[in-house]
Chain A
Amino acid sequence: MNQNKYLHDMIDSELEDIVGPDGVSDKEVDIDAHMTDMWYIPRVHIDRGFEASKPEFIAYPRNTDEVSRIVKVANRFRVPIVPRGGGAGDTGGALAPYGGIIVDVKKLEKLLRIDETSLTVAVQTGILQVDLEDLLSEKGYTLGHFPASFYCSTLGGFLANRGSGVLSTLYGKIDRMVLSLELVLPTGEIVRTPPVPDHSTGPDLNSLFLGTEGTLGIITEATLKLQYVPEVRRFTAFLFDDLHRALEAGRKIMLKRLRPCVIRVYDEQDTREWVKKVLGFERSGSYIIVGFDGPKEMVELQERLAKRIIEEEKGEDLGTKWGQQWWDHRYDFYFPPHFLESTPYMHGVIDTVSTFSNIEKIYREMKKAVEGEFAKWDISFMGHFSHWYDYGAILYPLFIVKDPPRDPDEASKLYNDIFNIGVRVALANGGLVNEHHGIGLKLSRFMPEQYGLGFDILKKIKRVLDPNNIMNPGKLGFGGF
């Protein structure tokens, strides 16, 4: 037996001791299933007949204590830990480029308690969002978090990436719903943050861990704010001649302190291609959805006020039928055959967020730069604006190259070059590297550009909390293993 084999078997044995024989696998068939998420780079390599990076083990802890013990084993053997939920991210965040142990948290799926007085829920983070929402809706509650990966992502994945759901304009990004967290630190200790976040007792510890993508620990439990399932939830579609007027309408709705649950503005090309393809809407212009939910009287009043703004911006009211059509089919975009990962196309989303002053400019500059720079690839670039704040909005731009290079390394280079151009346009104009998909491996290289000296602070925190650099190495701009 060589030394590597001996170490492999020892780690296997120790993991099995923690999680039982059914709780760990090093079988190739199981490892294969964990060598991809939805990121283009592993997909294109696998598609072209190449291997993608793989873990050595997948472990399935059943409780926080088991997570802690696994992390301690990893520290002792100096092997990387990669937390994984549904494996639905598109940044490589849940992949294992340096091997090691994927800690699959999907067995941590218990709804622990609901505080019906304060309307909060304590829940383990491996629960799929669809399952959590099902359990809550049975009692008349909702988290209000309905992202595209609603069916396939875990709560922990959202917390680790500061995800947004389609109704985030009212309900907020997932991190805004958090009261407190339990997590396992990179050295295996279990820590709990204070019970509520709105205090004057030092800094907000939740913020230190939310969005850190498993690099500073594994979030195992969260207490989150709930809402009542609304009495009424209604979506109305409108059509504008051009994107600018549609964005203006959205901006005014937000600044006049209306509180829509959704504003979703599609640019002319997105309207022409995807809205037509998936929803069957065949007119040209900029298609937008505006939705409100809550008590009936408040919904009706807000709808009236929003329609007044939209009329001033020359939007055409298409009625609730087309709004409801979007809500009923909002996930269809992500199933085959619409699902772009099912096609031979290269595609990516260069989502960013900025103020109202900047966001339209970022869109136009990014479109011009990407279409100009990659014209020879016949690239198409379209976008929508789907999460709104009272200072600005997300830009969700999608690029598609229908005939990318056959060679996976060339394809990867082209893919990265497109992001280099797109992200730097955002950064140069007041946008951020990403809004809600996270950084992972895909966008790691932009973290120093985003944060400047601030990134040194993050690196120092990482070094202190994770002295052996075992927690999800290579992600979020931190060093590799």
Chain B
Amino acid sequence: MHIEEYSNTIRAWRFCPMCNHVCPVIKVTKNEANGPRGLALSLFLVSEKMRQFDEPRVERIYQCTTSGICEAWSLGGYDLSGMVLAARADVVDQGKAPTSAVTARKNIEETGNPFGESKQVRSGLAAELIKEAGSKKRAEVLYFIGCTTAYRRPEIAKASVKILQKAGVSFMVLEDEPCCGAPLYELGFREDAKREARNLSQTIEKSGCNYVVTSCPHCYRALTEWYPQLGVQLPSGVKVKHTADYFNSLVKDRRISLSKRTEVVTYHDPCYLGRFGKIFDQPRELIRQVSGSNFKEMKWNREKALCCGAGGGMSFTNPRIAAQIEGTLIGEASKSGSEILITACPLCSDNLASSREKLKFQDISQFLADSLAS
């Protein structure tokens, strides 16, 4: 079983309640079965063959955002979110994945996106972006849109392309962009994720690009961390960058300049970009270029930033809990006195958009595109 690799983590945490307080799911459900101790104990019982992956147990395993916030608060480098992802892979191997996860997988297989929406939506957006990019077949940069951006937050892609254009970057967009496989990995479908990874890797190779730039931390994590784990290598020499990182280098190289703005803003570190990607400084440097001292940190930031609730496949499997978690983030952002909450993940933006709480939010690409000096 995949969870055998995590036996140290399971043993260390099966009786320890110390990180329950930061678990975004427990904050909503109050159910101890959702926290690090509850999950580790549950998996211990399964690994000792005292329990099976029955439906409620599987449900709890999928009620985790894999935000890694529990790891940020803990000591000793235990990989609790890795443990949960491994458990999901075991659940899938036993054919016990929840219906919502199976639907997302089927959607990717049939439509190339987990939402099950028409490929034409994505290709239409791609065509629009390609027109802006100048219809190149080869370019220095491949801007990878990603499923959530394409189907839920296309304005992020449009803003990103506007910045690339302004900087005079030679870039291209795929006409028929596939899923990167991140949702499959997060939901436990590792073989399917591997298939998507191979497919995208080959597509990148054919493109001849030197950089893959994406606005999505989930795509970014898949390409940089999970592909190698799955035994899929990107073409030699190709670097993967998140837009926050890449745009910051464009500013440093003076390829774009930004004008000052007066709104008070704050920044939310997306879990996969910050805690897992360690990209904390670059988005802040960018925002400070625009907002200076009007940039206010939230109380919990960087390694200990709150989770928006949408990660780890929660937007597919547990949208109601995801939306409730997101309310906590908006509350924190409001306390900072900010007028705009900036994030750098389409899943965060999508979840924020679904909230009943009203706070203006923007992806960092939108914020920068609106701040480009003429």
Contact residues of A with B, CB < 8 Å? 22, 25, 27-30, 32-34, 36, 38, 43, 46, 49, 51, 58, 60, 86-88, 104, 106-107, 128, 130-131, 138, 149, 151-152, 331-332, 334-339, 341-342
Contacts and interface: CB of A to CB of B under 8 A. Distances in A.
Contact of A336 (B13, B30, B42, B56): B13
Interface string B135-156: 0000000000000000000000
A86 B33 contact: no
Given A28-B54, A34-B32, A151-B21, A335 B16 contact: yes
A87 B75 contact: no
Contacts of A152: 17-18, 20-21
Contacts of A60: 30-31
Given A87-B17, A342-B13, A337 B31 contact: no
Contact of A25 (B31, B48, B51): B31
A402 to B, nearest CB: 16
Contacts of A339: 12, 16, 18
Given A36-B15, A335-B16, A336-B76, A49 B33 contact: no
A30 B56 contact: yes
Highest count of chain B CB atoms <10 Å: which of A22, A27, A32, A338: A32
Given A131-B21, A151-B21, A341 B60 contact: no
Highest count of chain B CB atoms <10 Å: which of A29, A130, A149, A334: A29
Nearest to B44: A46
Given A28-B54, A131-B21, A33 B31 contact: yes
B166 interface: no
B16 A342 contact: yes
Interface string B35-74: 1011001101100101100101101100000000000011
B48 A49 contact: yes
A192 to B, nearest CB: 25
A36 B76 contact: no
Contacts of B37: 33
Nearest to B13: A336
B115 interface: no
Contact of A337 (B35, B60, B75): B75
A25 B31 CA distance: 9
Contacts of B360: none
B76 A335 contact: yes
At the interface, is chain B mostly helix, strand, loop or mixed? helix
Given A49-B50, A86-B17, 12 more contacts: A29-B33, A29-B51, A29-B59, A46-B41, A86-B20, A104-B32, A149-B17, A151-B18, A152-B20, A335-B18, A336-B75, A336-B78
Interface in B240-283: none
B19 interface: yes
A363 B303 CA distance: 42
Contacts of B50: 49, 51
Given A335-B75, A336-B78, A28 B31 contact: no
Interface string B15-29: 111111100000001
Contact of B17 (A30, A88, A104, A107): A88
18 contacts: A27-B56, A29-B54, A29-B57, A29-B60, A32-B42, A32-B51, A49-B50, A88-B17, A151-B21, A331-B18, A335-B76, A336-B16, A336-B74, A336-B76, A342-B11, A342-B13, A342-B15, A342-B16
Interface of B: 11-21, 29-33, 35, 37-38, 41-42, 44-45, 48, 50-51, 54, 56-57, 59-60, 73-76, 78, 335
A76 to B, nearest CB: 25
B41 A337 contact: no
Contacts of B20: 86, 151-152
A154 to B, nearest CB: 10
Highest count of chain B CB atoms <10 Å: which of A27, A86, A335, A336: A336
A149 B29 CA distance: 21
Contacts of A130: 21
Contact of B15 (A28, A43, A86, A338): A43
Nearest to B74: A335
B162 to A, nearest CB: 39
Contacts of B18: 151-152, 331, 334-335, 339
B30 A104 contact: yes
Top 4 A-B pairs, shortest CB-CB distance: A33-B38, A336-B12, A33-B33, A27-B56
B15 A38 contact: yes
Contacts of A58: 31
Highest count of chain A CB atoms <10 Å: which of B12, B15, B74: B15
A339 B36 CA distance: 15
Contacts of A38: 15, 17
Contacts of B16: 335-336, 339, 341-342
Nearest to A30: B33
Nearest to B36: A336
A33 B21 contact: no
Given A86-B20, A342-B12, A36 B41 contact: yes
Nearest to A50: B50
B56 A33 contact: no
